[in-house]
Amino acid sequence: MNRKKINKIIKNSIPILVILFISIILFLNENFFTPGTIRNYGDDVFPLRQDYINTYLYSWDSRLGYGLGHPSLFPVFLPTYLLINILSFLGIPLWIINRLYLIGPNILIGFGALYLYRSLFKGKYSWLGGIIASIFIILPPEKFPIPVYEIGFGSTLFFVGGLIRALFWKKTRGKGRGKLFILVILMTALSAQCIRYFYISIIIGIFLTAFSFYYYRKDKERIKMNIRFLIIAIVIAIFINSFWLVPFFFQLNDLSESHFSDPETLSFRLKHNTENQKITNPLYALRASTGGGKLGRPPDYYLSHPLVIPFSFLIPLYCFLPLLIIKIEKKLKLLTLLSTFFIVMLSSYHLFPLVNVLLRKYIPTFWIMNSPQYWAYYITVFYGLIFAGTTEYFLKKIDELRGIRLYHSYFSSRILKIIFIFCLLITIFIFNGGVIFDKAIVKGFYRPYSLYGIRLPYVRIPDEYNNIEEYLTKNAKTGDRLWYIDRGNYKKYTWLTKGHMPEIIFFKSPIPTVGLPLAFYSDIIGILSDSVAFNKYSPQESLGLVLDLSEVLNIRYILLHKDYFFWPDIDLTEYVQKAIIDNKNFKIAMDTDLFTLYENVNFPSKYIYITKDVFINTSNNIDTLPLLLQAIPGKDNTFIFSRDSQGKSDINCSYIVEYPNIFINPLVNYIRDLSYKYNLNNIDKIIYIFTKEKGYFDLTK
């Protein structure tokens, strides 16, 4: 093998090894290889449950309709969940899948950055520039560590790079387009995993397409090729993405839901949702709030620490050198101008909010600015490309000035070498020092995949959580709900004090959420929890209302934690526990060192009582609770359901399914006419009620 082939192999291998090394080292710690331990990140969206496919296919949510399920089950995530399900069903341990799920998106980002850079620049040192761009983009000071989002982000890099090659590269005139078809089409489906990145990529794609027509305005044959490529790619991409475009189209156009809501469909969804969830092994979830202050770091993070201001300003100055150097490549100047544009827009979010609001109102592209962190990530992309491109330019100039290669270069007085080496070291130190030294190097520069400067551990969920899941799997019926009373969403546990974790039982197991997750029921439960947690109402008042509503809301179980770490949570648990002990309806079903599970012993009931009007809560607001507490049993126009004076239960063991064709007045919050169809699920059958009159209905006949 000659020297040229060896050098080519080395150049092709080094980027691969560097990207793999960086992506893996981000998540290494002392128990990375410990079986049965799990670590996960994310503000929301990805509960990492293996029952996702079943929930997506078989559950209904009146907030979204069209069978889409909860907002976190939006179908664009389906490819990721499907892959995780396949890996699990193939027998790969969940803890290994967890590591792959964390590392994989970063590998995708790294290779996407490399591919995009080498789509733009093709020179002797482009392989090295690609490595620099990859490191820069994988390891920004402020990471957005939600893996499903990162899949979308990494895919957009491939998408844009592939589009550049298809529209501008000369060698893609003929057969070279076949691979690009596959790449561009596949990446549209994956980039949709984060719809905002997908949206920005489409905007970039439109600009690239328009520019390609201008660039080849005198080459009619090339324009025809590009048009043909785009038409075929768009048609196939729409077909592949139809699994989320179709329901998304329904939502945007407010089409009728009637064909989704017939009793056979709902019964089928409910039955399969319950049974399939019981037989699948759920992936355990430990999500962590990333926190770290306001979004949109790039405008202000260079001012984080007085000692670093002189050094950290060199990074953007270095990146903006292409605007000052006359003969530098036009591509670099264009990227620099775009980066400047993005920074001004992102800065306007904080400095000139009115300007930003007007831009978002009148320019479609700017709707994305309601979450500037996504734009911040694209600024990181521009910085990475500009930094790598400027470095490659300097290396070429060093070659021209000294006639030597990079590995023969040493420190010298030449200004290009000083700028190049100094800025490269500063960048590595500030951007990557947190990973190297395992602590935040600069105040405000949070290490990727850490929470407030603390690297999160891999933990083993206590066996008690498995035990409660087994208990609920064995005893919970279709539609039963578990209510936990807490203060806020995130918790510290006695067995895990690093990071803020959510209520794990709701993300670990599908059982507590079996059934149709209707919006106003969830809202009422949330209102009740907040009313107790923030002392709006006493536990006795709220628990009394829960008993009146328990069958409507499907609250069969109440969960109280003993493993909370903070005293306010501990005090609240003890406070509520006293109220439950005094209540004869809830008995202890399971008691461990970590929590107590209470069960409503009078659940289920056999009768339902319908008043003239039905109260519907449409806002998750504590202040609406008085409307519920003031409900007077037996009177019309007051409440959804009630109990009769003889103590006989009036409410079905399940709940009313809100059909889309029922008119809801959002101003007065009730349904006017009960002549509309009502759907009740009584364990295993669907019941319709057609009546305008109040009265009892025996559901046992």
Q: Using one digit for the tens of pLDDT, what is the confidence trace for 237-271?
A: 888 888 777 766 655 554 434 444 444 554 454 44
pLDDT tier at 421, thresholds 50, 70, 90: confident
| Per-residue model confidence (pLDDT) at position 538 | 61
pLDDT at 266: 47
**Are 119 and 165 a contacting pair, CB within 8 Å?**
yes
Residues 277 and 203 in one domain: no
216 and 279 belong to one structural domain: no
Please choose, from the candidates 683, 677, 678, the residue with its C-alpha nearest in 3D space to the C-alpha of residue 700: 683
Q: How far apart are CA 168 and CA 215, in angstroms?
A: 9
Residues 280 and 175 in one domain: no
- pLDDT higher for 350 or 361? 361
Mean of the per-residue pLDDT values for the chain? 63
Lowest mean pLDDT among 282-296, 304-318, 362-376, 432-446: 282-296
In a domain, 620, yes or no: yes
Q: Is 608 helix (H, G, I), strand (E, B) or coil?
A: strand
Q: For the stretch 24-55, what's the b/e string if a residue is b when 16 or more beta carbons lie within 10 angstroms of its beta carbon?
A: eebbeeeeeeeeebbbbbbbebbbbbbbbbbb
Domain-embedded: residue 482: yes
pLDDT of residue 492: 74
Residues 229 and 267 grouped into a single domain: no
Whether the per-residue pLDDT at 30 is higher than 50: the answer is yes
- Residue 450 counted as domain residue: no
Could you say which of 253, 275, 308 is where a domain stops? Answer: 253
The whole-number average pLDDT for the span 51-60 is 45
Q: Among positive and negative, which fits the CA dihedral 573, 278, 285, 463? A: positive
- Structure confidence at residue 528 (pLDDT): 52
* Mean pLDDT along residues 191-214: 83
Look at residue 612 and tell me if it is in a domain: yes
Examine the domain organization and report whether 267 and 166 are in the same domain. Answer: no
* CA distances in angstroms from 5 to 2, 10, 119, 473, 631, listed in the order given: 6, 9, 22, 60, 82
pTM of the full structure: 0.69
> Of 233, 253, 273, which residue constitutes the final position of a domain?
253
More confident: 192 or 583: 192
Judgement on whether residues 230 and 278 belong to the same structural domain of the protein: no
- 211 and 246: one domain? yes
**Same domain for 189 and 269?**
no
Domain for residue 543, yes or no?
Answer: yes
Quick one: tokens of 136? 């820069």
Of the given ranges (113-127, 278-292, 574-588), which has the lowest mean pLDDT? 278-292
Query: Is cis: bond before 604, omega within 30 of 0?
Result: yes
Residue 512 has pLDDT above 50, yes or no: no
**The most confident of 32-46, 59-73, 188-202, 407-421, by mean pLDDT:** 188-202
Predicted pLDDT at 303? 38
pLDDT for residue 276 is more than 50: no
**Where in the sequence is the domain holding 640, given as residue range(s)?**
261-284+461-701
In this prediction, residues 598-625 reach a mean pLDDT of: 47
% of the chain at pLDDT higher than 70: 45
Residue 152 shares a structural domain with residue 274: no
Confidence of residue 581 (pLDDT cuts 50, 70, 90): confident
| Single-letter residue type at 16 | I
Same domain as 662, residue 567: yes
Q: Which of 9-23, 374-388, 413-427, 596-610 has the highest mean pLDDT?
A: 9-23
203 domain residue, yes or no: yes
- Band (pLDDT 50/70/90 cuts) for residue 352 is low
Q: Which of 51-65, 222-236, 331-345, 615-629 has the highest mean pLDDT?
A: 222-236
For the residues 163-182, what does the mean pLDDT come to?
78
Q: Are 481 and 550 contained in the same domain?
A: yes
Let me know if residue 536 belongs to a domain: yes
Of 256-265, 347-356, 642-651, which one has max mean pLDDT?
Answer: 347-356
The Cα–Cα gap between 506 and 498 comes to 20
Q: Say how many residues make up the chain.
A: 701
Q: What's the structural domain count of the chain? A: 2
Confidence (pLDDT) at 116: 94
The most confident of the ranges 6-10, 485-489, 592-596 is 592-596
What's the average model confidence in pLDDT over 400-425?
60
Determine the pLDDT at residue 485.
Answer: 62
Residue 644 in tokens: 């009769």
Residues 490 and 577 in one domain: yes
Q: At what angle do helices 195-215 and 147-168 cross, to 10 degrees?
A: 10
